Amino acid sequence: MKFGLNHTMGPFELADFVGLEIGLTVEETLWENFKDPKWAPSLILNKIVASGDLGRKTAKGWYDYTSGGRKSPTDLNF
């Protein structure tokens, strides 16, 4: 997305920036209102949020920010 569409952030980086719990709440609200399978909350996202990894605010989400930089997680354990 960053290179192909010249966006500043890709979708996972943006989700970390906003907060993963916000994205999960949006998915749950859309699912409750429309019951369309495309809005079913992601199981992986549920697990990440339940573990307390909420994105940049906790220094870990889809990416790991604990070392001062942005690194892809090496093991999501799912």
Q: Specify the pLDDT at position 25.
A: 97
42 closest CA partner among 12, 2, 71, 18: 12
56 closest CA partner among 25, 21, 27, 29: 21
CA distances from residue 8 to 12, 23, 27, 48, 73 in whole angstroms, order as listed:
12, 19, 23, 24, 20
* All domains in the chain, ordered by first residue: 1-73 (1.10.1040.10)
Instruction: Look up residue 6 and give its amino acid.
Output: N
pLDDT in tens, 16-64: 999 999 999 999 999 999 999 999 999 999 999 999 999 999 999 999 9
